[in-house]
Amino acid sequence: MTDILLNKTQITADGSDILTVSNVAPDTDIIVTLQGGEQVLSATVTDGELQLTVNEKGSYLIEMFWKSFN
């Protein structure tokens, strides 16, 4: 099984923001990290849209992976 990186997105939050990522492929694994490398969320998206509520200011890196069974 191989994880394939589909997309990498950098989003900056000013405080209590809702960050939305649209057009996410089904069964995509999402990893969100605050700048500095601390992982803040891991989730699987099944409805094509991911919404994150963040409470800290900072830059967030959103990485989307698809699991391949090669």
Residue 28's CB is within 10 A of a number of other CB atoms, namely: 19
What mean pLDDT is reported for the chain?
71
- pLDDT of 70 > 70? The answer is no
Domain residues for the domain of 8 are: 2-68
CATH number for position 31:
2.60.120
Residue 2: its pLDDT value, please?
Answer: 64
- pLDDT of 39 > 70? The answer is no
DSSP string, 4-33: EEEEEEEEEE-SSEEEEEESPPTTEEEEEE
Reported pTM: 0.56
Please give the Cα distance from 59 to 46 (Å, whole number). 25
Task: Provide mean pLDDT across the span 31-43.
Answer: 66
Residue 48: its pLDDT value, please?
Answer: 75
Please give the Cα distance from 23 to 36 (Å, whole number). 27
**How many domains does one find in the chain?**
1
